[in-house]
Structure 1
Amino acid sequence: MENAVVIDKSDFMSFVGYRTTSATTAVEAFDITNGGPATTCGINVAIMLHRVEDPTAMLAGDWASRQKALQDPDLWSKYGADHTHYDKVVQDLTDAGFTLIPNGTSSANSYYTSSYENRTIWVQLDSPAQFNTLFGSGPTDQVLQQAGTDGMCYWDVDLTLPSDWRVAGLWFDQLYIPAASDLTTDLAAPLQNGPQSQGNSGNHEDLLPSDVAVLYNFPLAGLNVQTGTIGLMEPGVGSWLSTADAYGSQFQSDLDSYLQRFGIAGTGQVSVQGLLGQNASPNTQQLADLNDSSGERTLDVAIAASVNPNSNIQLFNGSGAVYPNAGATVFTAVQAAIWGGVNGVLPEVTSSSFADPAIPHPDSPYHKAYWELYIDAALKNQTTVSAAGDGGSSGLVDNGLTNVRDTTKAQAYNIVVGGTSLSGQPVAMTDQTLDTYTAGALAGDLSTLWQLIRGGLTILPASGGDLDRFVETVWNQYTVSNADMTISGYASNSSGGGGVDVTQPTPWYQTAYGLSPVTSDSEQASGRGVPDVSLNGGGNMHYLVPNGNFSSIGGAWGTSAAAPMWASLIIQFNYIFQNQGLPNLGFMNDLLYVASVIAPGSFNDVTIGNNNSSFYYNSADGTYTVDGYLVTPTDKGYSAGNGYDYVTGLGTPNGVLLARALTGIAHSQYYFDTTPDLIDAGGSGDWTSGAAQTLLLQTTAAASATVTVDTGTTATDASSGASGTYAWTSLLAQQSLQSDFDGDLLALFDGQSQGTLTQAIVANGDSVSVTFNGAAAVAAQANLSASFGFADFFSDATNSVRLAQAVAVAETAGGADDVNVVVRMRQVAGADLSLMLYKVDDYNGTIGGLAPDQAGYATAAAGRAYAVMGGGTTIAGPGDGNAGQAQITGVDAGDLIAMQLTNVTSGDTFWAFSQANEMVGGEHIAHLWNYGANTWGWEDLAGGGDRDFNDLIVQLDFTSTAGSGLLVA
């Protein structure tokens, strides 16, 4: 083409082989010995143009600001291609004689989408001459090469295109994957005999996906509601069942029969994009591929239909297998889901268990095309979910390194889902790798139970018990047999993927969470942490679903099950959001990280297991065997641990608690963006107070520590002795508020003292800093939590100081006035307790000019007390070990709410503001401890008691009564 310029990193290896092989050309990578100028190749290529404006900064804002921006009627004139420029490129291609694939958004049988908005022009190249004319200097140029043995087409040079086209990205609808090279300097690692990770060796059980949803507390489980449309990426297979039913006419009835067999009824219907692209007469290889893919497809559909039987399901076949030169890459399926849908209806949430396995160079136009693809999804307010892959830390790439294999799906605008193994108590008892946990739990060992509670245990185990949810570990079925030095599973789908995607920078929401992801292999490369979240993938629990052609029903597994489960959960969240007057979630990754910080009970924290599987083939001196080949393991990977980790992400969902957190965050951002944050960030890592306020200063310390909190010109001593080994955490406090949490289990952790609790009164704009044993503590997650009334200053993972407001801000649903607010409670104390909630004028708790320590304050507070539904102005504690719930009425948007606790048994009264409480040794005693967003724990004894701050856990929920009140119970 005329005026052509070279497109950097557009050679074939930059398309398919980044960080996979040491080969620099396709000839080397694919061992091509008889390649030459191509003679028969046909390829379809997407040319993606630049956007008029870059949406990156807008998308990096908070969720509410994004939602408001997406309502702009000129959205696509900003973020699509310039129409004049797009038309020019189309005209240039047409004038040069190229066949353009027409935009097909109007038909359910379209294969490719081209439009101003998606900035894509699909070009059908039917011959090497056309390829060479487009990307070289003319039809006789020898840009396109071809392997004589299998007909593979490739190019070993960077491509050229006209400079005035201003091309942003390219994607070819065909893929070949090179063999990997040994790229590591890590040494060979001996492996232990037997299972390589815990919790995957029991007599597994097969459960219906709808039953698995119950174990994860999906908020709409069992309700007959009309949830939205779910899209599933099924490229090249669609609803194909067999050569006799290539277009899947039997698919819906077979799916209905599966659901009816288990008593599941609904109105959801399956439809297919690119229906005629399902191969009507596949050759032998195509038939094998279809049969392999159809099992994956049916798993995806069965999960979505079982969990949400009223959701319509769309299958995206992409370019399919019939259209000329079509390669049915996932790229085409994803683009169809974003821009075409089926019959013009777009899915709200999509899930992709398939991946384009090529790893494009991060500076290539191919990487750019995929990156922009998911930005389009975010701009369409579509939530995209993808499986992390089933190859453990190696990603089934034998380069000796750790790999995020599906980098095209792992980018920042996608929710990436890892895999776990969930074991009920009966199955756990058959798994020898869990003997330590089963024995410890049955013996009442506090350390064991503490760890299991983090992972979602809510009932005290008993001998012969039948707990459905006992322990959750990493999904990893790799096993070593020392008898013949064989590693089972290393070359197959046997463990959840996870690690660090080095093809992109760390996303802003992970940086704000305090993460700095670095690979565990010899490269120590930085990037994006994967996965974001996880859910059962296999091991000790499988999914009871049909096989590919519905001829039988049995167990299936993989992160390709966990991903559609998460999509099915998010479609329920969307229903709840709509019910409360909110828009769909759309791009929501950052909300998950915010929820994990302010409402950690939203996630079950998986802390057991690993996904180690890095290796390389070594025919000379490999010491282990995989599928008959000698290999050398380097045994690099990632282990589960407290909080976020690179194998289970933030953890697995507690659906109801996560739904409450997400709706609370959404209403807060949407309607209360002017409410002052607890602290505001300066330009150099410094912080200032966001308001005139009284702050609780809560020290958590592993050992005695010297701590100072500086606010303005005042230094407050917050030094502390060691916190109790099992001092309550925000996670446990929030979990305890579930009505079905076993009081006997909580009682085992009563009396565990917290660290020091003191108080500071701070002026608006005062500087705020913390030193811990002489070193500055870092408010690593404050940008995520400061809008919700607290911020943690960390010295390290076990030592911190929490600054928290002593009042709650009534951030009501829709910013409405005169609403009911849910008050949840859990009592772990024998006294009779009573709680009063009252309105104050500011963050220091004053009422009509009266401060909490002034005469007449108690009378003023009683006069400001909120009425309780059912009568009175006080709420009785639910009793020792019990959970309870009430509602206060007449709450207006923005009200500042304080609390007073009365120990009815002793007659003592305690306030949130320590200056109003009793004195011991010349110091006022604080009685209130913050446990995350609008959640606190009280100490109910005068003089400070045992300082466990769990005698009455209280949570105010300002949004769940909205709409139909789906989240109240």
Structure 2
Amino acid sequence: MAYTEIQNSSYLQFTGYSLVDLSATVQHAYRFGDSDYETADSSDLINVAIILPRANDPTALLEADWGTRQQMLAELGSDGVWDTYGADSTTYSDVVSYFGGDNSEDQIYPTFPYDAYSNTYVSSAESRTLWVQMDGTTFSQFFGTTLYYCTSQEFYFWEGNLNLPDDFGWELGGLWFDASNSPEGENQAHDASVALPQGVQSIGNTLTATNTATSLNPQDIAADFYNFPLNGEAVPTGAIGLVEPGIGTAIPGPDSFDHYTKEYRKSVGVSGDGLVYTQGAVGQSYPDNGGLERSLDVGVVTAINPNSDIAMYVGSGDQYGATSSVFTAYQSAIWQDPDTVPVGWTNPAVISSSWGDGNNPDPSSLFYSAYSELFVDAALNNQTIFTALGDGGSGNQQSNGLTNVTYNYASPYSVLVGGTSVSTVSQATQDYTLTPFLQLAAGGDRATLWRLVAGGLTSSPKDANATQQFIEVVWNQYYLDGTTLTADGYTSNNTTSGGVDTTQPTPSYQLDFGLTPTTTTNPYPGQGRGLPDVAANAGGNTYYVVPSPDMKDIYYDWGTSAATPLWASLAIQFNAIFADQGLPQLGYMTDLLYLAAAVAPGAFNDITMGNNMSSYRLGGTYDSQGEMITPTGYGYEATPGYDLTTGLGSPNGLLLARTLTAIAHSQMSYPLSPDVIVQLPVDPSDPASAVELVSGTRQSLMFQPILAADDAWSLSLGGSDISFSGTASGSYAWTSQLAQQSLQQDFSADLVTLFDRFSQGTVYQTVVEAGAGIGVDIQGAATSLPQINLTSAFGFVDFTDADGDSAIQVARAVAIAETALATDDQTAIMRMRQNGMNDVSVLFYEVDDFAGTVDGLAPGDAGYDAAATARAYQESGGATWIAGKGYGQYGEAELIDVDSGDLIAMILSNGTDTFYAFAQANEQVDGQSVAHLWSYGLNTWGWEDLYGGGDRDYNDLVVQLDFTSAYGSGWIA
């Protein structure tokens, strides 16, 4: 028979990319002897996924913004999506016939011996997959390569590349084997080594080593640490899918899994009617090492959302050549056969996986294509996938001495979840690495509290109860005692993974966020996808109370395997909120998270302390689980903003819910709202040409200097240049994150007033005509706009210097009422936080354009005051002026009769003077009109309440308008 070689298809390219020399033999890489393998024969079974190309390329759909994607998917419909993006149906039928199939509902060809196993694999034109069962003989005949069996390590393999018989005749889009197996990494770090400090290896994780870590119920972690929006609400939330390969709902003994799930919910004090469904139950089994991972997943999701049904995906099972690989469980979760589920059941909109296939496929191989396209299938199926990044730290438990990530599930269409360690005030008193921070914070040290507030602190520790959250850091439980790494050491699961996947380009949403994730320690250094995307509590000082492995008792567990179902539990709440507001389910949403972090940074807790160092090579002086190793010192530190240990950070669930709904309604209903700044190609015929920056409409713009030093800056508007002598921002000048965090009812007034009177730069405000060019220099140097693609549609754009230390933010003074579903006569929630001592009040009024015009009158014109107040909105009690609640205090009100697309401006009164959102309507100092307003992101502004500009702290009254949260049931209002 004639064959054509399949390039990059060796067994090591299936399993060992970046870990071993891919040109080596399998025997060398897996370190077994000549007597440890044999030629497979007709008694040996291996199941192979033949995967065809897509009929059409979905890139344009996937690269569109979320709202456009949802509209495109809705227009296609569920059948149309797969007619378009599945395999060509004729080609698929021909391939089925080639393998002796008859296009029936069989899932594998030839058919399994028993029909009961027919739903354990996914074969369909929609999934582009045909599972074929081969024995040693037929494998060798089809692939033109001998199949071997390693008897000592129990796996099948081949040497060299695979081949396709010439009579096959069809192009492959992917190839996968139902197997999971990777070699131990070979040292690629040469002589690199570091000496480890004694004791804990990262801050805020000490209590594990002393066996004094606290264990909390998952719903309490969700409520107390992460402000979940529906916590305690009897809201029907949708089904959550859990990838649980091999085990599913298997438990020892006769009682049902549902029974023990209900008993667990009772034990942690929640009630609900969520049921459990299992795919592939006939092929599941309870493993010798127990169901630790499975029980952890189930405990987290059912405690947080007890009304959510749970779908458990076993995958292929363990009979007739099946090995329950994670690949097959993912396929089942995405392609659940509707004929095999209970009546009324719908496929889960959210899937959580805490498992990873051991394979490390070469990115140039069909194996890599097979895995990466699984997540594309989920995106096209409008499902959200959360994947645990792993618990092996920067080395990812690989002994090659370098940083590693698991490439096969680091998809840009999945949300990758890392781990943190959260400590309460009480725990901080017991953790010697945190005690100094606690003492400083309790003493009112501004620098310490500033950092802690960015991480989610809402009240001063001196006023807090012992169980209140104090600090969140990178999860890293490693501890050195003499020469022994306790907590099982680098060769075990005890630290959040994280790093850069250089096998793929940096996703557009990370580039748009201003990121260029880069590694120099990877065996293939360079840029790529930064990992993780987000994080949540995974252990260290706080564990989760979950069911025991057999589901019969209580257990205390940890890992990114807990953080991941926690994020999935949050997403299913988002979906319930979206449905209540008439929005489609989230589906692929990774890009939405980066957009949310850009426009509303208060939606995330910024983790800035800790590391995930764990790279190592074999041999040396440190004992890790009885194996001697040498640490090589490669890894990543937490930093302000996005980092390669905790991503964007952990969630403030309520603020994130409000942000996501606002973004979703904006993208679905207001795609034509004008951007603040538009990027126009200089040469429209050349997509790669330079761009010109122009004003998106006629508008009053505030130019807000955020400077690290006393730097001059200049502004170009429509060809005219203006220069300014900028002054450095105050040490604790308010940020968008702090302003948004302060608009929480439980945020401490003491923290608000602690950061009073720190000056911002002097705002320059002027009207800019539509299409007028806009340019900014800082210290005579050109600036960049790292997040313009994310923020310009939401009212602001940052011009940033080369170091990223200083910026000029260009922002609007007007809000667009982007109401839910573009409906009229809506209620807008107004939230405010006062940080000035005067008696202040604010009035909202409708304007005709972004320059503030009312009935043909511009701000500052005679008669403008009367025209503006005649357009005032009323709050629900009938008043038009809404008073602040006093120094440091929070308040809110409801503005009624807000119509879709209204343009809304503000007036502030301090009892003596009145200030407008438009500088030209205010007083002048040295011939310059004084701006009293500062933008703090998504429909959030801060006022300066003193005549002449005062201390320019722009936080005397912080105000936010929320046009969507009151819609529907108002769960997040």
- TM-score (normalizing by structure 1): 0.95
Matching residue of 1:218:
228
Residue 306 (structure 2) pairs with residue 309 (structure 1): yes
Match of 1:950 among 938, 943, 955: 955
Query: Whole-Å Cα distance in 1 between the matches of residues 458 and 191 of structure 2?
Result: 42
Query: Whole-Å Cα distance in 2 between the matches of residues 312 and 463 of structure 1?
Result: 40
Match of 1:845 among 849, 852, 857: 852
Assess if the C-alpha contact under 8 Å between 2:392 and 2:494 holds in 1: yes
- Given residue 964 of structure 1, which amino acid in structure 2 is its aligned partner? S
Query: Whole-Å Cα distance in 1 between the matches of residues 530 and 257 of structure 2?
Result: 38
Matching residue of 2:296:
299
Closer/same/farther in 2, CA of residues 598 and 636 from structure 1, 3 Å limit? same
- Aligned positions of 1:852-863 closer than 5 A: 852-863=859-870
Matching residue of 2:245:
235
Query: Whole-Å Cα distance in 1 between the matches of residues 156 and 498 of structure 2?
Result: 32
Residue 833 (structure 2) pairs with residue 834 (structure 1): no
Q: Secondary structure at the match of 1:288?
A: coil
Assess if the C-alpha contact under 8 Å between 1:273 and 1:315 holds in 2: yes
Matching residue of 1:515:
515
Query: What is the CA distance between 1:259 and its match in structure 2?
Result: 1.1
Assess if the C-alpha contact under 8 Å between 2:101 and 2:110 holds in 1: no
- Aligned positions of 1:792-811 closer than 5 A: 792-795=798-801, 796-811=803-818
Q: Secondary structure at the match of 1:235?
A: coil
Query: Whole-Å Cα distance in 1 between the matches of residues 583 and 724 of structure 2?
Result: 42
Match of 2:708 among 692, 698, 702: 702
Residue 350 (structure 2) pairs with residue 349 (structure 1): yes
Residue 320 (structure 2) pairs with residue 320 (structure 1): no
- Given residue 509 of structure 2, which amino acid in structure 1 is its aligned partner? Y
Q: Secondary structure at the match of 1:470?
A: strand
Query: Whole-Å Cα distance in 1 between the matches of residues 87 and 451 of structure 2?
Result: 52
Query: Whole-Å Cα distance in 2 between the matches of residues 42 and 803 of structure 1?
Result: 64
Matching residue of 1:662:
660
Query: What is the CA distance between 1:718 and its match in structure 2?
Result: 4.2
Matching residue of 1:926:
931
Closer/same/farther in 2, CA of residues 692 and 792 from structure 1, 3 Å limit? same
Q: Residues 64-111 of structure 1, C-alpha deviation per residue, up to 9 Å, x if partnerless? A: 11101111132211101111111111111218999616699x999821
Identity %: 47
Query: What is the CA distance between 1:869 and its match in structure 2?
Result: 1.1
Matching residue of 2:686:
none
Query: Whole-Å Cα distance in 2 between the matches of residues 875 and 742 of structure 1?
Result: 22
Query: Whole-Å Cα distance in 2 between the matches of residues 643 and 881 of structure 1?
Result: 27
Match of 2:96 among 75, 78, 90: 90
Query: Whole-Å Cα distance in 2 between the matches of residues 738 and 41 of structure 1?
Result: 62
Query: What is the CA distance between 1:511 and its match in structure 2?
Result: 0.8
Assess if the C-alpha contact under 8 Å between 2:404 and 2:522 holds in 1: no
Matching residue of 2:383:
382
Q: Secondary structure at the match of 1:167?
A: coil
Query: What is the CA distance between 1:154 and its match in structure 2?
Result: 0.7
Q: Secondary structure at the match of 1:459?
A: coil
Closer/same/farther in 2, CA of residues 564 and 694 from structure 1, 3 Å limit? same
Matching residue of 2:589:
588
Q: Residues 815-846 of structure 1, C-alpha deviation per residue, up to 9 Å, x if partnerless? A: 11111111110001111111111111111111
Match of 1:892 among 895, 899, 918: 899
Query: What is the CA distance between 1:41 and its match in structure 2?
Result: 2.8
Assess if the C-alpha contact under 8 Å between 2:116 and 2:282 holds in 1: no
Closer/same/farther in 2, CA of residues 272 and 486 from structure 1, 3 Å limit? closer
Match of 1:52 among 42, 46, 55: 55
Runs of 5+ unmatched residues, structure 1: 137-141
Match of 2:638 among 637, 640, 645: 640
Query: Whole-Å Cα distance in 2 between the matches of residues 712 and 120 of structure 1?
Result: 57
Query: Whole-Å Cα distance in 1 between the matches of residues 909 and 17 of structure 2?
Result: 65
Residue 78 (structure 2) pairs with residue 70 (structure 1): no
Matching residue of 1:724:
730
Assess if the C-alpha contact under 8 Å between 1:792 and 1:802 holds in 2: yes
Residue 876 (structure 2) pairs with residue 869 (structure 1): yes
Query: What is the CA distance between 1:468 and its match in structure 2?
Result: 1.5
- Given residue 261 of structure 1, which amino acid in structure 2 is its aligned partner? S
Query: Whole-Å Cα distance in 1 between the matches of residues 781 and 273 of structure 2?
Result: 61
Q: Secondary structure at the match of 1:659?
A: helix
Query: What is the CA distance between 1:486 and its match in structure 2?
Result: 7.2
Runs of 5+ unmatched residues, structure 2: 682-689
Residue 393 (structure 2) pairs with residue 392 (structure 1): yes
Query: Whole-Å Cα distance in 1 between the matches of residues 216 and 770 of structure 2?
Result: 55
Matching residue of 2:161:
158
Assess if the C-alpha contact under 8 Å between 2:205 and 2:477 holds in 1: yes
- Given residue 853 of structure 2, which amino acid in structure 1 is its aligned partner? T
Q: Secondary structure at the match of 1:673?
A: coil
Query: What is the CA distance between 1:143 and its match in structure 2?
Result: 2.5
Query: What is the CA distance between 1:219 and its match in structure 2?
Result: 0.2
Residue 8 (structure 2) pairs with residue 12 (structure 1): no
Q: Secondary structure at the match of 1:956?
A: strand
Matching residue of 1:554:
555
Closer/same/farther in 2, CA of residues 402 and 467 from structure 1, 3 Å limit? same
Query: Whole-Å Cα distance in 2 between the matches of residues 275 and 522 of structure 1?
Result: 40
Matching residue of 1:435:
435
Assess if the C-alpha contact under 8 Å between 1:699 and 1:719 holds in 2: no
Assess if the C-alpha contact under 8 Å between 2:483 and 2:623 holds in 1: no
Closer/same/farther in 2, CA of residues 743 and 486 from structure 1, 3 Å limit? closer
Residue 479 (structure 2) pairs with residue 479 (structure 1): yes
Q: Residues 900-928 of structure 1, C-alpha deviation per residue, up to 9 Å, x if partnerless? A: 10111xx1000111111111111111100
Assess if the C-alpha contact under 8 Å between 1:170 and 1:366 holds in 2: yes
Matching residue of 2:469:
469
- Aligned positions of 1:713-752 closer than 5 A: 713-752=719-758
Matching residue of 2:684:
none
Assess if the C-alpha contact under 8 Å between 1:186 and 1:522 holds in 2: no
Q: Secondary structure at the match of 1:85?
A: helix
Query: What is the CA distance between 1:288 and its match in structure 2?
Result: 2.3
- Aligned positions of 1:186-585 closer than 5 A: 187-202=192-207, 203-215=212-224, 216-242=226-252, 244-245=253-254, 249-279=255-285, 287-289=287-289, 291=290, 294-322=291-319, 324-340=320-336, 343=341, 345-404=346-405, 406-462=406-462, 465-482=465-482, 488-521=488-521, 523=523, 524-585=525-586
Query: What is the CA distance between 1:711 and its match in structure 2?
Result: 2.1
Residue 827 (structure 2) pairs with residue 820 (structure 1): yes
Assess if the C-alpha contact under 8 Å between 2:601 and 2:736 holds in 1: yes
Assess if the C-alpha contact under 8 Å between 1:9 and 1:158 holds in 2: yes
Query: Whole-Å Cα distance in 1 between the matches of residues 664 and 214 of structure 2?
Result: 37
- Given residue 306 of structure 1, which amino acid in structure 2 is its aligned partner? A
- Given residue 16 of structure 1, which amino acid in structure 2 is its aligned partner? T
Q: Secondary structure at the match of 2:67?
A: helix
Query: Whole-Å Cα distance in 2 between the matches of residues 398 and 376 of structure 1?
Result: 33
Assess if the C-alpha contact under 8 Å between 2:581 and 2:820 holds in 1: yes
Query: Whole-Å Cα distance in 2 between the matches of residues 7 and 564 of structure 1?
Result: 38
Q: Residues 653-686 of structure 1, C-alpha deviation per residue, up to 9 Å, x if partnerless? A: 0000000000000000000001111112234254
Query: Whole-Å Cα distance in 2 between the matches of residues 591 and 712 of structure 1?
Result: 33
Assess if the C-alpha contact under 8 Å between 2:483 and 2:622 holds in 1: no
Q: Secondary structure at the match of 2:404?
A: coil
Closer/same/farther in 2, CA of residues 158 and 102 from structure 1, 3 Å limit? same
Query: Whole-Å Cα distance in 1 between the matches of residues 465 and 352 of structure 2?
Result: 36
- Aligned positions of 1:17-166 closer than 5 A: 17-24=16-23, 25-34=25-34, 35-39=37-41, 40-71=43-74, 72-73=76-77, 74-94=80-100, 100=109, 110-125=119-134, 127-136=135-144, 142-161=145-164, 162=166, 164-166=169-171
- Given residue 309 of structure 2, which amino acid in structure 1 is its aligned partner? N
Assess if the C-alpha contact under 8 Å between 1:22 and 1:183 holds in 2: no
Closer/same/farther in 2, CA of residues 263 and 149 from structure 1, 3 Å limit? closer
Query: Whole-Å Cα distance in 2 between the matches of residues 531 and 101 of structure 1?
Result: 41
Assess if the C-alpha contact under 8 Å between 2:111 and 2:118 holds in 1: no
Assess if the C-alpha contact under 8 Å between 1:421 and 1:475 holds in 2: yes
- Aligned positions of 1:675-714 closer than 5 A: 675-683=673-681, 684-714=690-720
Query: What is the CA distance between 1:371 and its match in structure 2?
Result: 1.0
Closer/same/farther in 2, CA of residues 595 and 151 from structure 1, 3 Å limit? closer
Question: Aligned pair count?
Answer: 940
Assess if the C-alpha contact under 8 Å between 1:108 and 1:272 holds in 2: no
